[in-house]
Structure 1
Amino acid sequence: MKMITIKKSEWAGGLEKAAQAFRLFGPVKEKEFHSFKRLQNGLLPDLACLNTRLSPKHLIYPQSEVMFDYTLDESKADHHILKETARDDSPQAVVGIRPCDAKAFVLVRMNFDTPEYQDPYWIRAYESTTLVGLGCAAPCSSCFCTTAGCGPYHEEGLDVLLADAGDHYLAKVLTEKGATFMAAAGWKTAAEPQAADQKIAALKQASESKIASFVQTDNLRAIETTDLHNAAFWEEVSFSCINCGTCTFSCPTCWCFDIQDENRGKNGVRMKNWDSCMFPLFTLHGTGHNPRGTKLHRVRQRFMHKLKYFVDKYDRGIQCVGCGRCVRLCPVNIDIRRV
């Protein structure tokens, strides 16, 4: 594990060098919101933003992704045969990702990369991605990462952790992928390890002291599943929900998807698209039966999955990193911290 000093005067030049070996992405402000965009033509990541409105999960798990293409034209020898669509899995680096979003990829990997099932699309994208994180000096008021197994300077899932130290960044290189990125950027000035560790520890302590939201999650595994499932409070929680799906689409750890064939004339593609357990069609059977036919059923499923089913199945804490996006964006103010 290396500690490197990056002068802010050398930041832009280093990213320009890294762009020769990596496709770079980072938080960019468009109008009034920040989102993760390709960094090209001198565009720099805006590291002053607290967090993006939407998570960067689309950089590894696109909202709509073409997997196969085919033709229905029977005059062609390959008609009705699925052919894998070419995709770009060249190295990419996400610069300025927050620790909570990096930890989210660790949780999502438990679904897409298991001994029983491996999603080749997700795995190839993840393995070709380097995550260069920035510690949070000023967490949002809705953040509760420290009680969700994460934190403003959490390292899990990151390849490099940056800490803003005034006129320079301290870069903690955590993986070989991180070392490769730093070398490509030409950042190699070593920092004194003990002093750098002490500085990052002080920044971490100061940041954690600003987090005002705390949620008790330690006892969730011990609670009987049926007791939670049948609890009376679900009626109150679900009452105002409009099933818009904003919570799931903004969440960095939600992974539900649907696969559809889309035809245009005699040509078509098979696509994987984000879906949501909050949508009535998500569980609608071909027979017309829907096991989650009411709003209450769907709201309960979302929270039970994040706060109970995931906990029981993986024993890795809750399926949430405390980023607070669902709290900030819910149009009817449903708050997972109160649930």
Structure 2
Amino acid sequence: MKVIKIDKKDWAKGIEKIQNGYRLFGPVRGEKFHDFKALEKGESPDLDFQNTRLSPKSVVYPQTEVLFEYSLDEKEADHHVMKDAAKDYSPKAVLGIRPCDAAAFLLVKRNFDTPDYKDPYWIKSYEATTFIGLSCNNPCSTCFCTTAGSGPFNEEGLDILLVDATDCYYAKAITPKGENLLKNAGWNTEADGGAAEKIETLKKEAEAKISSSVASNQLKSKSTNELYEAPFWEDVSFACINCGTCTYLCPTCWCFDIQDENSGSSGIRMRNWDSCMFPLFTMHGTGHNPRGTKLHRVRQRFMHKLKYYVDKYDDGIQCVGCGRCIRACPVNIDIRRVCDMMNSYDPKACACSEK
């Protein structure tokens, strides 16, 4: 894989060039946080950040997305007919995505792109996107990516890995899409012979800064029913207020709702992010709700990410260790603690202690 050296003074020039062929998205500093936004002409991403408040999953999977349009006016020949809403699937690029967030798209892909079901909106948007990752030289204190199947220099899901080496960036092309973007940007300077060693040194230094971890090695062998009935769920869910912050911030949450909205004789059908934390999420038309309490909803969130997903795919947990839910939870519910409790749960030991 080719590695080139980008002098920071040439960075903005390259961004300006690729804006001619790509819609660009990148981290932009707001009043208090960085978030991924569409970049205007001449605007460069602000790469001086640890991680964004929201994950960049909305670049591929918008929080609200119009799917169909229709007319209720019976004077029109095609009234009450659903028509595809206009979409823009022209090439786009995400600049400065953290490796954990890029890896999250591969987990989410398992929901939207399967042998049995293919979501055309998600797939077309994802395939139109080039992911330029930014290595995480200084992880947050709540990051546990190295034990969640990712890492601060992880390359899975990326087309380019960008490494900040203080006075320059090293750009490692991982896929043909990445090579094409670098070519369009005009950053053609070959990296010096010691680039690989410098990148490896920075990688080891970043990984050494991660002190947080999760244990998930026993989850696969645990009985689903025994974990479901574990006594600790009351304690885990006690403080939860079902605000949904954890699911909206999470790069691997994919749940959505579909709604119709009418205005006069015209209407749209759209899908919006939804959350298993919300009481209406599983409300049946009969009024029955199989997850009618917050204990049910909190348990569902963790069982899905840490047990059901593990059993179905046998390829790690449905979490990349970004730590957003830990930092933002208003009542300090910590997925690391819950994962460790599930991983070490022994119903026999609990039964003995109760005696």
Deviations 1:151-180 (A, max 9, x none): 000000000001111211111100011011
Q: Following superposition, which runs of at least 4 residues in structure 1 exceed 4 angstroms of deviation? A: none
Residue 142 (structure 2) aligns with? 142
Alpha-carbon separation, structure 2, partners of 1:95 and 1:222: 39
Q: How does 1:1-339 map to 2 (within 5 A)?
A: 1-192=1-192, 195-339=194-338
Task: Give TM-score scaled by structure 1 length.
Answer: 0.99
SS of equivalent to 1:243: coil
Which amino acid is the alignment partner of residue 237 of structure 2?
S
Deviations 1:226-247 (A, max 9, x none): 1111100000000000000000
Which amino acid is the alignment partner of residue 148 of structure 1?
A
Give 1:195 shift.
Answer: 2.1
Give 1:56 shift.
Answer: 0.4
Deviations 1:292-332 (A, max 9, x none): 01100000000000001001101110000000000001111
SS of equivalent to 2:194: helix
SS of equivalent to 1:280: coil
Which amino acid is the alignment partner of residue 236 of structure 1?
D
Alpha-carbon separation, structure 2, partners of 1:90 and 1:69: 21
Which amino acid is the alignment partner of residue 246 of structure 2?
C
Give 1:41 shift.
Answer: 3.2
Deviations 1:64-113 (A, max 9, x none): 00000000000000000000001111100000000000000000001000
SS of equivalent to 1:282: coil
Give 1:42 shift.
Answer: 2.1
Residue segments in structure 1 that go unaligned for 5+ positions in a row: none
Alpha-carbon separation, structure 2, partners of 1:176 and 1:226: 45
Give 1:264 shift.
Answer: 0.7
Alpha-carbon separation, structure 2, partners of 1:332 and 1:208: 28
SS of equivalent to 1:141: coil
SS of equivalent to 1:121: helix
Which amino acid is the alignment partner of residue 100 of structure 2?
C
* Contact preservation (8 Å) 2:19, 2:41: no
Alpha-carbon separation, structure 2, partners of 1:203 and 1:92: 29
Alpha-carbon separation, structure 2, partners of 1:167 and 1:181: 22
Give 1:49 shift.
Answer: 0.5
Which amino acid is the alignment partner of residue 37 of structure 1?
K
SS of equivalent to 1:337: helix
Alpha-carbon separation, structure 2, partners of 1:298 and 1:197: 46
SS of equivalent to 2:298: helix
SS of equivalent to 2:257: strand
Aligned-pair identity in percent equals: 66
- What CA RMSD, in Å, does the superposition of the two structures yield over aligned residues? 0.8
Give 1:38 shift.
Answer: 1.3
Alpha-carbon separation, structure 1, partners of 2:197 and 2:304: 38
Alpha-carbon separation, structure 2, partners of 1:276 and 1:44: 33
Which amino acid is the alignment partner of residue 38 of structure 2?
R
Alpha-carbon separation, structure 2, partners of 1:175 and 1:151: 19
SS of equivalent to 2:68: strand
Give 1:126 shift.
Answer: 0.2
Alpha-carbon separation, structure 1, partners of 2:315 and 2:259: 32
Task: Give TM-score scaled by structure 2 length.
Answer: 0.94
Give 1:260 shift.
Answer: 0.7
Alpha-carbon separation, structure 1, partners of 2:184 and 2:78: 43
Alpha-carbon separation, structure 2, partners of 1:200 and 1:229: 44
Residue segments in structure 2 that go unaligned for 5+ positions in a row: 339-355
Deviations 1:123-160 (A, max 9, x none): 00000000000100100011000010000000000000
Alpha-carbon separation, structure 2, partners of 1:242 and 1:265: 37
